[in-house]
């Protein structure tokens, strides 16, 4: 199982719980029991507490794992403040204050103003903890780093704060280094970690600063020292250089990353997360959900096929026995799953689709000028009347940018013309078929609407531009492209024809749609669990994004046609 598969199993369990809750929506006991399970699913996260003395390289190590120079380093000494690292749509820090329930968002660059002894001596600003939000894939899947205040500083509260957080951790990473491995302060925290009976990983950092022979001696010393603590499961020790690992990640140098020692640590961390911790969590939820279904099945006292909980128990059993992620999609790194190409998609914020966005912009520019022209130019008004006006969609787009005065000065000729035509049809005594045909001729269509002409031309230009950009990016092997809605994606791929450019474009859109589907599932789960405050910006926008990707913007891809109505 990988992290994606783990999440999908959680969503599958949540779907079954929702179905159970829907059996009797008026039963408050059933609703509460279901909500308790959904809350457990929604709040699931993996807290990895990173501890160690100052200057051991904790922040550099986390930056290396996250794959970028994201967290500030060298901020010492810290106040007695826990700093968590979680997923967010943009880089920022959310400050949580003691006792007031207040939060404040500040740029990441200002973190030092709240967590350093110089700027916040003795934590006089009463900060409870600082929450760093980063748009990094591994964090999106529930992975939380917890960066504790450094051990052994002159600030006693630092060590006490770290020790108070120990019960919240799912696993620990003790970062020491070759220059002075396992100090007395680290011995003290090791005793406390042993009592929690949680998994411990020991990282010996700065291997690039010592010779191979000295490295072996220090490694042996640490291994022997750890035996004194009598851990129920011997901690694994990893030798690495966080600095070299970060440089390798930034340069995408696989051989340098392997030499840094980080890869073996990441592999074991991910294995523990997906094979031990995740499996234990799922086993517990499967058991609790199965117990709920069985108990309510007994309460219903409806034998056989009449029992609404029996099919749900079958679904739960099938989910547990089925690998929800196809084998060809399994496998991921500590940084999370990545698209099959290095092409990224930019989602146009207003329209979603780059083609829809271009069309909307061109229509706005045209209507902005044309509505003024119709206000002052009788010839423009006459042409508008002859054409039958705009189609219904563009009539209301015109109204959005015009004013009552603009409509009153622009539309009299058209309204007079329609009135005359109706009067003529009324007295003509035509049969029903002819009458319907005459009425249809009064309606503006895409063939007569002037804005539709603008839309068609704009759409064609935008599709050609998108196809050209896709060819260029595919040839370069990397780059950014604007996302397309499904109707326009079909048009762009048709323009591209079969080949690498079309494949690259489709892979990138498949990845974006997968992410959007997961955001939909996360939002629904947290909504059901009454935990909407846990949602990210992407999850809150997922419903809008999904519909924009599937159908395009409502002002471009009209949901109906006059021709189909009549």
> pLDDT, tens digit, for every residue of 74-83?
655 455 577 8
Which residue's structure tokens are 């950009």?
469
- What's the confidence (pLDDT) of residue 187? 84
Mean pLDDT is highest, among 113-117, 135-139, 427-431, 545-549, for 545-549
Judge whether residue 559 has pLDDT over 80.
no
Residue 448: CB atoms within 10 Å: 16
Quote the CA–CA distance of 511 and 114 in Å, as a whole number.
38
Q: What would the pLDDT profile of 323-335 be if each residue is shown by its tens digit?
A: 554 444 444 556 6
- Both tokens of 355, joined, read 């083609």
Model confidence, pTM: 0.81
Q: What would the pLDDT profile of 348-361 be if each residue is shown by its tens digit?
A: 878 899 999 999 99
- Both tokens of 249, joined, read 């990640």
The chain-wide mean pLDDT, for the chain, equals 85
Please tell me the CATH superfamily of domain 56-260, with its number.
P-loop containing nucleotide triphosphate hydrolases (3.40.50.300)
- What's the confidence (pLDDT) of residue 329? 41
Give the mean model confidence (pLDDT) for residues 428-451.
81
Q: Taking the domains of the chain in order of start, what are their residue ranges?
A: 3-42+273-334, 56-260, 344-352+453-562
The percentage of the chain sitting over the pLDDT mark of 70, rounded to a whole number, equals 89
Q: If you write DSSP's letter for every residue of 247-298 in order, what string do you get?
A: HHHHHT-HHHHHHHTHHHHHHHHHHIIIIIIHHHHHHHHHHHHHHHHHHHHH
Residue 110: CB atoms within 10 Å: 13
Bond from prior residue into 279 cis (ω within 30 degrees of 0): no
Quote the CA–CA distance of 309 and 297 in Å, as a whole number.
6
Per-residue pLDDT band for 506 (boundaries 50, 70, 90) equals very high
Q: What would the pLDDT profile of 83-134 be if each residue is shown by its tens digit?
A: 888 898 888 999 988 876 788 999 988 888 887 777 887 778 888 888 899 9
């Amino acid at each position: 199982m990988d992290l994606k598969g783990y999440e999908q199993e959680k969503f599958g369990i949540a779907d079954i719980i929702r179905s159970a809750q829907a059996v009797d929506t008026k039963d408050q006991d059933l609703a509460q029991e279901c909500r308790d399970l959904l809350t457990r699913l929604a709040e699931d996260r993996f807290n990895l507490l990173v501890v160690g003395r100052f200057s051991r390289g904790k922040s550099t190590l986390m930056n290396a794992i996250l794959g970028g120079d994201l967290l500030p380093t060298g901020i010492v000494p810290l106040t007695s403040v826990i700093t968590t690292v979680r997923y967010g749509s943009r880089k920022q820090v959310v400050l949580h204050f003691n006792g007031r329930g207040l939060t404040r968002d500040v740029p990441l660059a200002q973190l030092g103003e709240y967590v350093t002894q110089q700027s916040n001596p003795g934590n006089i600003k009463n900060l409870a903890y600082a929450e760093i939000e980063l748009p990094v894939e591994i964090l999106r899947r529930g992975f939380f780093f917890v960066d504790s205040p450094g051990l052994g500083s002159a600030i006693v509260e630092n060590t006490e704060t770290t020790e108070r957080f120990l019960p919240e951790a799912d696993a620990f990473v003790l970062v020491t280094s070759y220059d002075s491995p396992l100090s007395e302060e680290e011995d003290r925290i090791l005793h406390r970690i042993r009592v929690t009976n949680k998994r411990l990983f020991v990282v010996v950092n700065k291997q690039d600063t010592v010779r191979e022979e000295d490295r072996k001696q220090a490694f042996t010393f640490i291994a022997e020292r750890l035996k004194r603590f009598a851990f129920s499961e011997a901690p694994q020790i990893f030798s690495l250089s966080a600095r070299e690992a970060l440089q390798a990640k930034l340069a995408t140098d696989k051989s340098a990353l392997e030499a840094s020692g980080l890869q073996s640590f990441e592999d074991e961390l991910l294995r523990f997360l997906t094979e031990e911790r995740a499996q234990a969590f799922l086993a517990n939820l499967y058991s609790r959900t199965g117990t709920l279904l069985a108990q309510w099945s007994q309460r219903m006292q409806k034998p056989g096929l009449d029992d609404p909980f029996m099919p749900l128990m079958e679904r739960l059993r099938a989910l547990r026995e089925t690998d929800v992620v196809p084998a060809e999609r399994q496998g991921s790194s500590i940084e999370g799953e990545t698209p099959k190409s290095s092409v990224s998609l930019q989602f146009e914020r207003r329209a979603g689709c780059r083609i829809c966005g271009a069309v909307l912009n061109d229509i706005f520019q045209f209507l902005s000028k044309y509505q003024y022209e119709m206000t002052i130019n009788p010839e423009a008004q006459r042409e508008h009347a002859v054409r039958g006006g705009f189609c219904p969609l563009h009539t209301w787009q015109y109204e959005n940018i015009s004013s009552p005065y603009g409509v009153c000065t622009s539309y009299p000729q058209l309204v007079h013309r329609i009135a005359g035509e109706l009067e003529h049809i009324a007295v003509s005594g035509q049969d029903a078929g002819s009458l319907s045909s005459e009425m249809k001729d009064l309606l503006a269509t895409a063939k007569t609407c002037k804005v539709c002409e603008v839309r068609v031309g704009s759409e064609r230009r935008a599709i050609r531009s998108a196809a050209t950009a896709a060819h260029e990016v595919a040839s370069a092997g990397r780059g950014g492209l604007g996302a397309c809605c499904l109707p326009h994606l079909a048009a762009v791929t048709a323009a591209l024809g079969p080949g690498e450019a079309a494949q690259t474009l489709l892979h990138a859109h498949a990845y974006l749609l997968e992410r959007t589907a997961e955001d939909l599932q996360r939002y629904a789960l947290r909504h059901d669990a009454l935990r909407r405050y846990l949602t990210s910006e992407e999850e809150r926008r997922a419903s809008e994004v999904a519909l924009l990707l599937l159908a395009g913007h409502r002002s471009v891809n009209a949901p109906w046609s006059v021709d189909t109505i009549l």
